[in-house]
Amino acid sequence: MNTPENIERTSTGIDLENPSTRRAAQLTKALGHPVRLAILKLLCERDTCFCGDFTDVLPLAQSTVSQHLKVLKECGLITGTSQGVRTCYCLDPSGIQELHQNLVNLVDTFDTSNLSDCC
């Protein structure tokens, strides 16, 4: 049966179940919210881990910030270590390197040189 998934897989050669494709999707999805981008930028601008309250620098409720931190931590872009009653957050260098490589690979697949004026 030709389901949309089968048509997509056979016409483009893309295996939607490929672990590297799924990982690239997970990483790019983590970047898909302005708050998560702001958190990454904040952590990137620091020489040390951020041990403060993100709600002091972001106009959001703690529960909202916590959800965004959870997404970033689960996909490996940040780490969090408990220090007393606080959690200190840092960029995870290996996760950021993996993100960089995935983005480079993704952009490299977008060859627009053979496109005509279609729109």
pLDDT in tens, 2-29: 455 544 444 566 778 888 888 989 999 9
Those residues whose C-beta lies under 8 Å from the C-beta of residue 40, and which sit 6 or more positions away, are 31, 72, 77, 78, 91
pLDDT in tens, 80-109: 998 888 899 999 999 999 999 989 988 888
pLDDT in tens, 57-66: 999 999 999 9
pLDDT value of residue 38: 95
Residue 64 burial by CB count (10 A; 0-12/13-18/19+): exposed, middle or buried? middle
pLDDT in tens, 27-50: 999 999 999 999 999 999 988 889
The DSSP output letter for 52 is: S
pTM for the full predicted model: 0.79
Residue 27 burial by CB count (10 A; 0-12/13-18/19+): exposed, middle or buried? buried
Domains (ranges, CATH) in the chain? 14-101 (1.10.10.10)
